A and B are shown apart, each in its own frame.
Chain A
Amino acid sequence: DGGITQSPKYLFRKEGQNVTLSCEQNLNHDAMYWYRQDPGQGLRLIYYSQIVNDFQKGDIAEGYSVSREKKESFPLTVTSAQKNPTAFYLCASRTQGASNTGELFFGEGSRLTVL
């Protein structure tokens, strides 16, 4: 079945460690996104990519990094510079183009807890 796979579902990290969250899609979508979700704040955009080897910062990119070496993959690294990394992270994809009509397809999320 087509969809988006995020791993791991749960992750624990000690302060000062970098961690990488995986996101893979087999929907043949050009655009991919990373969101952070905190209680009562909705979803906030971290990074997005419209095409392979290109990505843009979202609203809260500080302390995060991404890569887009393959169309199917868009991993997110939470670095030690991120001051409050404990959150639920969601990856999404959509068809790309000039139109704004395509909906986002979401993975099941990764919950990161810093100990």
Chain B
Amino acid sequence: AQSVTQLDSHVSVSEGTPVLLRCNYSSSYSPSLFWYVQHPNKGLQLLLKYTSAATLVKGINGFEAEFKKSETSFHLTKPSAHMSDAAEYFCVVSDSGTASKLTFGTGTRLQVTL
């Protein structure tokens, strides 16, 4: 069985400071992991994905994430937050045992203040 836990439901940062959104996963097989972003009343957009290649994954808009198997984590980071980063972020896991189904975390709302 696969599962994903986003450790913070809400994160607030100042513009220009680093962003850290935390995600832990559980998987019985080799997982693929994804981060998506959602702006209000919109669909989800892929930020980045890990699929067993390099453990440090770079995505769009300056975001990156590191796959740490020993810690079962896939935290999302960005060196400097921008006002446009304010949105909901979802961590998603898909393991090879259930290739057709993906499991979503409950989301982290990122607030960026001046």
* Residue ranges of A at the interface with B (Cβ–Cβ < 8 Å): 4, 6, 31, 35, 40-45, 48, 50, 56, 58, 88, 90, 92, 96-101, 103-109, 111
Picked from A45, A99, A103, A108, the residue with its CB within 8 Å of the CB of B49 is A103
Asked whether, in the complex, the Cβ of A103 is within 8 Å of the Cβ of B101, the reply is: no
A106 to B34: give the CA distance in the assembly, Å. Answer: 14
Task: Note all chain B residues with C-beta closer than 8 A to A97.
Answer: 99
Asked whether, in the complex, the Cβ of A109 is within 8 Å of the Cβ of B49, the reply is: no
Asked whether, in the complex, the Cβ of B42 is within 8 Å of the Cβ of A103, the reply is: no
A30 to B51: give the CA distance in the assembly, Å. Answer: 20
Interface size class of chain B, counting residues whose CB lies under 8 Å from the partner chain: 20 to 34
Asked whether, in the complex, the Cβ of B106 is within 8 Å of the Cβ of A41, the reply is: yes
Asked whether, in the complex, the Cβ of B106 is within 8 Å of the Cβ of A106, the reply is: no
Asked whether, in the complex, the Cβ of A99 is within 8 Å of the Cβ of B100, the reply is: no
Asked whether, in the complex, the Cβ of B100 is within 8 Å of the Cβ of A42, the reply is: no
Picked from B46, B49, B104, the residue with its CB within 8 Å of the CB of A43 is B104
* Residue ranges of B at the interface with A (Cβ–Cβ < 8 Å): 9, 29, 31-32, 34, 36, 41-46, 49, 51-52, 90, 92, 94-96, 98-102, 104-107
Task: Note all chain A residues with C-beta closer than 8 A to B94.
Answer: 100-101
Asked whether, in the complex, the Cβ of A45 is within 8 Å of the Cβ of B42, the reply is: no
Task: Note all chain A residues with C-beta closer than 8 A to B43.
Answer: 4, 6, 90, 106-109
Asked whether, in the complex, the Cβ of A101 is within 8 Å of the Cβ of B45, the reply is: no
Asked whether, in the complex, the Cβ of B32 is within 8 Å of the Cβ of A101, the reply is: yes
Picked from A6, A58, A99, A103, the residue with its CB within 8 Å of the CB of B46 is A103
Asked whether, in the complex, the Cβ of B90 is within 8 Å of the Cβ of A45, the reply is: no
Task: Note all chain B residues with C-beta closer than 8 A to A98.
Answer: 96, 99
Q: Who on chain A is nearest to B93 by CB? A: A100
A90 to B88: give the CA distance in the assembly, Å. Answer: 15
How far apart are A61's CB and chain B's nearest CB, in angstroms?
13
